Structures are given as structure tokens and as C-alpha cells.
């Protein structure tokens, strides 16, 4: 008997992808195919590059995973996985099981026990949980209130004007297992509950149906214990407690004073918040701003009315001492184009970072999801591109230790009230440590910004950020995701390929700009941005500019020749010219090209060092 664990969406033969697997769309490593007819149905893939070793597996959790072998590190690297999160696997914890994304484990809800302890011990919890006490039906049962980060699936919505009416609707049906009421909508669940994700918050608007005895049991046991206490025993216990309190109070006060003094600041810049403080500031993490592989972000307000953004980290691997050390290092990195880290929280397994709040949100929200009358104009877009480049240049070249961001994309570029760009999440790749490769694959859309060296397993350098920046710059220019295909004469084109081809053919670049701007863009700036973007996504990282050079080009200080079309974007291009920069004062031949080109990494460095700035 087959069991659903995940839905890939329908196969698109023209794009050769499953609709719900975005990683396939921007892929130039694997060649996917799907065969389906009345006789057979199967999925296959092959490698464009025979030197890459790959394996495709489905593990016990139901996740489909693709790995590539890193010969240098002698280990398998996770290329992509679906579903991206452990708890997204359909029915992973079975009926009445709660999935904990932090621990990657399942547990039974209150009032239930493991259906098959043997299977659970073997980490197979799909059999779910069973009730401790059967329901009596009607108003003889009770309801347990709980908070959930994800409600179960397959609910029905009867007419109900209040929470009480919703409760009565559930009580009147013996098969009803739970109800929820919110936003003037009543939801009922019948039979087994699947895909529950319970949160740690107190209270909630999800009500699980239990036998009345299951809800009253704790109180009844407490009353029995009270009645069974012997008066003499109680007196003895009270005496012992009183003695311990008198002896320990001075010690606890002393420790408390010392710990309070240490918990306020770290190196005079960062504030060490308590979890309770941040829980209060965010109203129990109720206003979610966004989320990704590193964790979710919530809006909060401190007691002094300062608005903050709190990120709850997931997937970290460090102990507290190392965590504080890494956070302290991140806190010293400050630049006008980097999001400022205000503080952190480290209590047990809880790891949170506190940042300045950016009122205009992320670049992707302003670029892809705005109404036509709120679209970013070209001048603002260009300043965002330039400011982001300056922030990355600071991370790569001007910090005491080079910081490689590893995840540049519009979601990680935030805008303040004046639309000044701020690079967010820098330094988190090192914080997460060994788990970063797993975290990276869980972030929606990230695959479209990854440099080829991520897949081949070679060492990652700042040029990986340059590649991601180039992909993002194309999106700033077009106002659309690169993965959104452009159709003309029934031909489907990937935007960076289209843009690179137009540059290669010497066509007007303004036609590439977001059509919502109606051509209102500076021609020279558009040409610079397009050239920079295409140079940034060259296959060979030695051919990509540094972020310092990107800044100079966008500022108009340095000019750059038309780039070749990257082989990964267009396999029809057989020959690639070598990359070289030139300034206004460079010697040129009669055809307008510089007499000096660079064909190797060392030559590129030599050419770069000899570049002169334009006045």
C-alpha cells in the first residue's frame, strides 16, 4: 500500500521540471526526464558532467535527497532535498503525533501514547499515537487548548459566529477530534489528526478533544496526594525547606547580581537579552516578518519603544561559549550597508539574534510583490545595487577576517525608511557550522543564486558571493525572478541568458529593464548593471570581478568590456573571451579593445592591480 509523503507537482515537459521543484529550473548539472504512459511511469536523471558523482535517495523520513560527492573533502554534499523541512514530510509523525522541527523528532500529544513503541524506537513514528482513554461523545468529553505553528490538514468549516458555537458544532459530532476558531472562521477536524506542529507558546486557539478524565487527571492526583500527606511529615518538610532557603538566599542573591551584570553587554556593544525579555517584546513571537533556513524572524518592541527584529536560530551546532564568541565577532562588524546586530539570547537550546528593524522590509517584497503604483524606480534600484555591493565589499575586504556571506539573495537585503539597502544574515553560515549545507538547501529560492563551485565541492571563496550578487542584480534590473521565464515566439528563455545574449549582440540594454518603469532608466547605468551582472556569473570564479571592482564599475570609476555568455547559461556558446577591465586612460587598439587581456588567474590579478581610476 503506497503512502503519500510529498507532492512534486505536475511534470512540465517544455521546461523539463516538476512544477513544485524550483531547483530543477535553474539546474545545469542534472538532466531530468519523466516517462509516463499507460504501460509505465518513472523518473530518471543523468549528469551533464561525467566527472561529478551523484546519488539520489529517499531516507526513512520520506525525504527525497540528491547528493554530490566531494573528492577533496571525501564526503557527500547535499545538493537539494524535498520536502525541505523534516516536518513537511506528509504524516511523518502519524495520527495525533506532534512534529518538532528543532529536535527533528516526533512526540505524542497529551492524552495519547505511541501506537507501536517498537517502531518508534526504530525512529519510525508514522504509525502515530493512540488515545489513552476513549471518547464518550457529546458534552461528556473535554477540550485541551494548545498553540500550534501549523494546523492539521483536511479541516471543514461549518457556519459558526463565535468560538462557543464552533465548540458546540464539534461536540455534536462524535467523529470530531478538534476545533479551532480564529478570524471569524470555524474549523473542525474529523478522525485522525495529521501534520500537527505544536508550539511552546502558552494557550492558543486550537482545541484537542480528550476524554474528560484525561483533562481532570492531574488535578485529581494532586488532591489525592494532598489528602494522603501526614501532618508531621508536612511539618518536617517545611522545616527543611525553611532551613535551605535561609542558607541559600544570600548565595543566590550574590550570584544573581553577578549574572545580571554580565548579561547586559558583551564587549561593550551587544546586549545579552533574556528569553523572557524577547518573548515579551515580541508578544510571544506573534508577528512573524519572514523566515528561511536559518530560522524565523519576528517583530518586537523593547521597553524603551525601540522597534527590533528577532531571529530565532535553527540548526546551530556550537556550544554556548563558542556561540557567544562568534556573535561577539559579528557584533563588531558595522557598516552603513549592513544590518546592525543589537544583541542576542543564549539560554539552553534557545539561540536568538536581535537586529535593528527595517521598516520597508526585504528587497524581494519591494521588488516582486508591490502594486504598480509602488514599484521601485530605476534610481532607487541602482542605489540599492550599489549599496549592497559596498556592504559586500566591506565584508570581503575591510573586515579583520574575510566574511563570506554564502546566501546573497533579495530576501537577505533589507531596506530602511529611506530605501538604503542593508545586507542581513552575514556571519550566520559560520554560526550554523557543519549544518550549513543542510540549512542552505532548505531556503526557498536559494538554489537559483548558488555558484557552480557549491555543487562541485571545491573550497568556497568570496567569489561565490559575487556570483549570487550577479544573479540578484539581474532580478533588480528585470523586476522579476530569474526563474520566471520570458516567452516570445513560443520560446522559453531564462532571463540571465536572454540578457547576456542581447549584450553579446550589442542591442540596447534599456529593453531589459522592468517594463513597469516604461523605459524610465538611465541608459549608461543600465548598461553598467547588465555588464556587471553577466561578469559576476561567469563559470570560472577567476573571471569574476571582486566586489570592490563591482563598486567601482557601478560608480562609473571603472569601465568593463562586454562579457562572454557563461557556458552554464548557454551551452551553444563554444568559445569564451577572457575577462579584462579597462579605464579611460588605457591604451586601445583600432577596434576599441584594450591591448592587454588576462587569460589566467595570475594575469587577471596583474591587470586588476594596474587599473587606473576615471576622473
What is the distance of C-alpha 220 from the center of its chain?
46
Question: Is the per-residue pLDDT at 216 higher than 60?
Answer: no
317 or 80: which leads in pLDDT? 80
Does residue 312 have a known ligand-binding role? Answer: yes
pTM over 0.85: no
**What residues act catalytically?**
407
CB-based burial label for 146 (10 Å; 0-12, 13-18, 19+): buried
At 32, which helix (H) or strand (E)?
strand 30-36
CB-based burial label for 193 (10 Å; 0-12, 13-18, 19+): buried
Q: If pLDDT is split at 50, 70 and 90, which confidence band does 235 have? A: low
> By percentage, how much of the chain surpasses pLDDT 70?
74
258-267 average pLDDT score: 46
509 or 232: which leads in pLDDT? 509
411 or 218: which leads in pLDDT? 411
Question: Is the per-residue pLDDT at 79 higher than 50?
Answer: yes
Query: Which set of grid coordinates corresponds to residue 300?
Result: 518586537
Q: How far is CA 156 from CA 15, 103, 153, 160, 198, in A?
A: 36, 31, 10, 12, 20
Identify the weakest region by mean pLDDT among 101-105, 182-186, 568-572: 568-572
Q: If pLDDT is split at 50, 70 and 90, which confidence band does 545 have? A: very high
Give the Cα-Cα-Cα angle 63, 66, 67 (nearest 5 degrees): 125
Render pLDDT for 398-417 as a digit per residue (tens, 0 to 9).
887 788 888 899 989 999 98
62-88 average pLDDT score: 76
Q: What is the pLDDT of residue 440?
A: 47
- DSSP for 124-156 reads --TT-EEESS----GGGEEEEEE-EEEPPSS-B
Query: Which set of grid coordinates corresponds to residue 159?
Result: 457556519
Question: Is the per-residue pLDDT at 589 higher than 80?
Answer: no
Q: What is the pLDDT of residue 584?
A: 31
- Cβ neighbours, 10 Å, residue 124: 15
477 or 594: which leads in pLDDT? 477
Question: Is the per-residue pLDDT at 460 higher than 90?
Answer: no
Mean pLDDT of the chain: 76
> By percentage, how much of the chain surpasses pLDDT 90?
26
Q: What is the pLDDT of residue 253?
A: 54
Q: If pLDDT is split at 50, 70 and 90, which confidence band does 24 have? A: low
Q: Under 8 Å CB-to-CB from 400, ≥6 apart: which residues? A: none
349-363 average pLDDT score: 90
Give the C-alpha separation, 442 to 287, whole Å: 22
459-468 average pLDDT score: 89
Give the C-alpha separation, 31 to 39, whole Å: 23
Do 461 and 551 contact (CB within 8 A), yes or no? no
87-106 average pLDDT score: 84
Do 547 and 393 contact (CB within 8 A), yes or no? yes
For strands 421-423 and 41-47, give the pairing: unpaired
611 or 173: which leads in pLDDT? 173
Q: Under 8 Å CB-to-CB from 30, ≥6 apart: which residues? A: 24, 45, 46, 47, 48, 54, 66
Give the Cα-Cα-Cα angle 356, 359, 364 (nearest 5 degrees): 105
Amino acid at each position: 500500500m503506497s503512502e503519500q509523503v510529498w507532492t512534486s507537482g505536475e511534470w512540465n515537459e517544455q521546461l523539463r521540471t516538476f512544477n513544485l521543484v524550483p531547483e530543477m529550473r535553474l539546474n545545469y548539472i542534472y538532466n531530468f526526464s519523466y516517462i509516463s504512459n499507460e504501460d509505465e511511469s518513472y523518473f530518471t536523471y543523468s549528469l551533464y558532467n561525467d566527472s561529478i558523482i551523484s546519488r539520489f535517495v529517499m531516507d526513512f523520513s520520506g525525504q527525497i535527497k540528491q547528493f554530490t560527492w566531494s573528492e577533496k573533502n571525501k564526503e557527500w554534499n547535499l545538493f537539494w532535498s524535498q520536502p525541505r523541512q523534516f516536518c513537511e514530510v506528509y504524516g511523518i509523525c502519524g495520527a495525533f503525533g506532534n512534529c518538532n522541527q528543532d529536535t527533528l523528532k516526533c512526540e505524542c500529544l497529551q492524552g495519547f501514547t505511541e501506537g507501536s513503541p517498537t517502531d518508534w524506537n526504530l525512529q519510525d513514528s508514522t504509525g502515530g499515537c493512540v488515545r489513552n482513554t476513549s471518547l464518550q461523545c457529546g458534552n461528556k468529553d473535554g477540550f485541551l487548548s494548545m498553540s500550534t505553528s501549523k494546523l492539521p490538514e483536511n479541516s471543514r468549516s461549518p457556519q459558526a459566529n463565535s468560538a462557543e458555537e464552533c465548540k458546540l458544532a464539534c461536540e455534536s459530532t462524535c467523529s470530531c477530534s478538534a476545533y479551532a476558531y480564529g478570524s471569524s472562521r470555524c474549523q473542525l477536524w474529523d478522525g485522525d489528526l495529521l501534520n500537527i506542529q505544536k508550539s511552546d507558546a502558552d494557550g492558543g486557539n486550537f482545541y484537542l478533544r480528550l476524554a474528560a478524565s484525561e483533562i481532570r487527571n492531574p488535578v485529581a492526583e494532586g488532591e489525592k496526594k494532598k489528602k494522603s500527606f501526614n501532618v508531621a511529615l508536612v511539618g518536617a518538610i517545611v522545616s527543611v525547606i525553611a532551613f535551605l532557603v535561609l542558607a541559600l538566599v544570600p548565595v543566590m542573591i550574590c550570584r544573581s547580581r553577578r549574572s545580571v551584570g554580565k548579561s547586559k553587554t558583551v564587549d561593550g556593544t551587544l546586549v545579552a537579552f533574556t528569553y523572557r525579555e524577547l518573548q515579551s517584546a515580541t508578544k510571544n513571537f506573534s508577528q512573524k516578518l519572514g523566515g528561511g533556513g536559518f530560522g524565523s524572524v519576528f517583530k518586537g518592541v523593547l521597553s524603551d519603544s525601540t522597534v527590533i527584529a528577532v531571529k530565532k536560530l535553527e540548526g546551530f551546532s556550537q556550544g554556548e561559549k563558542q556561540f557567544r564568541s562568534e556573535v561577539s565577532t559579528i557584533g563588531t562588524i558595522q557598516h552603513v550597508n549592513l544590518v546592525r546586530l543589537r544583541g542576542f539570547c543564549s539560554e539552553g537550546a534557545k539561540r536568538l539574534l536581535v537586529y535593528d528593524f527595517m521598516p520597508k522590509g526585504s528587497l524581494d517584497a519591494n521588488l516582486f510583490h508591490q502594486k504598480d503604483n509602488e514599484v521601485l524606480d530605476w534610481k532607487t534600484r541602482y542605489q540599492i545595487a550599489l549599496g549592497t555591493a559596498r556592504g559586500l565589499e566591506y565584508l570581503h575586504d575591510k573586515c579583520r577576517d574575510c566574511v563570506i556571506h554564502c546566501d546573497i539573495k533579495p530576501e537577505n537585503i533589507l531596506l530602511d525608511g529611506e530605501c538604503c539597502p542593508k545586507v542581513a544574515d552575514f556571519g550566520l553560515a559560520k554560526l550554523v557550522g557543519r549544518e550549513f549545507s543542510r540549512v542552505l538547501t532548505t531556503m526557498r529560492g536559494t538554489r537559483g543564486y548558488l555558484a557552480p563551485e557549491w555543487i562541485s565541492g571545491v573550497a568556497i571563496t568570496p567569489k561565490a558571493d559575487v556570483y549570487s550578487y550577479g544573479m540578484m542584480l539581474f532580478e533588480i534590473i528585470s523586476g522579476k525572478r530569474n526563474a520566471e521565464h520570458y516567452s516570445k515566439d513560443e520560446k522559453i528563455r531564462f532571463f540571465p541568458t536572454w540578457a547576456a545574449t542581447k549584450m553579446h549582440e550589442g542591442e540596447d540594454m534599456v529593453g531589459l529593464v522592468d517594463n513597469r518603469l516604461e523605459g524610465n532608466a538611465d541608459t549608461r547605468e543600465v548598461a553598467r548593471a547588465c555588464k556587471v551582472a553577466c561578469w559576476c556569473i561567469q563559470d570560472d570564479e577567476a573571471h569574476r570581478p571582486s566586489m570592490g571592482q563591482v563598486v567601482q564599475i557601478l560608480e562609473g570609476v571603472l569601465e568593463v568590456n562586454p562579457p562572454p555568455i557563461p557556458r552554464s547559461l548557454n551551452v551553444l556558446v563554444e568559445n569564451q573571451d577572457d575577462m579584462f577591465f579597462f579605464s579611460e586612460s588605457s591604451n586601445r587598439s583600432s577596434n576599441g579593445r584594450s591591448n592587454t587581456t588576462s587569460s589566467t588567474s595570475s594575469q587577471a590579478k596583474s591587470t586588476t592591480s594596474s587599473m587606473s581610476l576615471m576622473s
